Structure 1
Amino acid sequence: MTATVQIGNVTKHYGRIAAVTDVSFELGEGEMVALIGHNGAGKTTLMKLMLGLIRPTGGSILVLGDNPAAGQFAGRRHLGYLPENVSFDAALTGRETQTFYARLKRERVAKALQLLDAVGLGAAASRRVGTYSKGMRQRLGLAQALIGRPQVLLLDEPTTGLDPELRQTFYEVIQRLAAEGTTVLLSSHALTELEERAGRVIIMHRGIKVADGSIESLRKLARLPTRIRLKVAGLAPGEVPSWLPASAPRRRLNGHIVEIDAAPEQKIELLRCATASGTALEDLDIVPPNLDELYAHFLRRSEAKP
Structure 2
Amino acid sequence: MTSTVQVSDVTKEYGRVSAVRGASFALHEGELIALIGHNGAGKTTLMKLMLGLIRPTSGSVEVLGDNPAAGEFAGRRQLGYLPENVSFDPALTARETQAFYARLKREPVPKALELLDAVGLGAASRRRVSTYSKGMRQRLGLAQALIGHPRVLLLDEPTTGLDPELRQTFYEIIEKLARRGATVLLSSHALTELEERAGRVIIMNRGIKVADGSIEELRRLARLPTRIRLKVKGLAANEMPAWAPPDADCRRINGHVVEIDAAPDRKIELLHRATAAGNSVEDVDVIPPTLDELYAHFLRQSEQAP
Q: Report if TM-score (shorter chain) is over 0.5.
A: yes
Q: Does 1:129 align with 2:134?
A: no
Q: Distance in 2 between matches of 1:268 and 1:58?
A: 48
Identity value in percent: 78
- Gaps of at least 5 residues in structure 2 are none
Q: Does 1:143 align with 2:147?
A: no
Q: Distance in 1 between matches of 2:159 and 2:191?
A: 12
What's the counterpart of residue 81 of structure 2? Answer: 81
Q: Does 1:194 align with 2:194?
A: yes
Q: Compute the displacement of 1:196 (Å).
A: 1.2
What's the counterpart of residue 2 of structure 1? Answer: 2
Q: What whole-Å deviation, never above 9, does each CA across 1:12-45 have from its counterpart, x for those lacking one? A: 0001100000000000000000000000000000
Q: Distance in 2 between matches of 1:45 and 1:253?
A: 44
Query: Residue 123 of structure 2: SS of its match in structure 1?
Result: helix
Q: What whole-Å deviation, never above 9, does each CA across 1:210-264 have from its counterpart, x for those lacking one? A: 0000000000100100000000111122111111110100111122110000000
Q: Does 1:177 align with 2:177?
A: yes
Q: Distance in 1 between matches of 2:294 and 2:255?
A: 30
Q: Compute the displacement of 1:277 (Å).
A: 4.7
Query: Residue 264 of structure 2: SS of its match in structure 1?
Result: coil
Query: How does 1:7-46 map onto structure 2 within 5 Å?
Result: 7-46=7-46
Q: Distance in 2 between matches of 1:9 and 1:70?
A: 19
Q: Distance in 1 between matches of 2:30 and 2:284?
A: 36
TM-score normalised according to structure 1 size:
0.99
Q: Distance in 1 between matches of 2:265 and 2:278?
A: 23
What's the counterpart of residue 114 of structure 1? Answer: 114
Q: Distance in 2 between matches of 1:283 and 1:77?
A: 54
Query: Residue 153 of structure 1: SS of its match in structure 2?
Result: strand
What's the counterpart of residue 289 of structure 1? Answer: 289
Query: Residue 265 of structure 2: SS of its match in structure 1?
Result: coil
Stretches (4+) displaced over 2 A = none
Q: What whole-Å deviation, never above 9, does each CA across 1:149-174 have from its counterpart, x for those lacking one? A: 00000000000000000000000000
Q: Compute the displacement of 1:274 (Å).
A: 1.3
Q: Distance in 2 between matches of 1:184 and 1:222?
A: 25
What's the counterpart of residue 216 of structure 1? Answer: 216
Q: Distance in 1 between matches of 2:23 and 2:112?
A: 35
Q: Does 1:63 align with 2:55?
A: no
Q: Compute the displacement of 1:122 (Å).
A: 0.4
What's the counterpart of residue 255 of structure 1? Answer: 255
Q: Distance in 1 between matches of 2:128 and 2:52?
A: 31
Q: Compute the displacement of 1:281 (Å).
A: 1.1
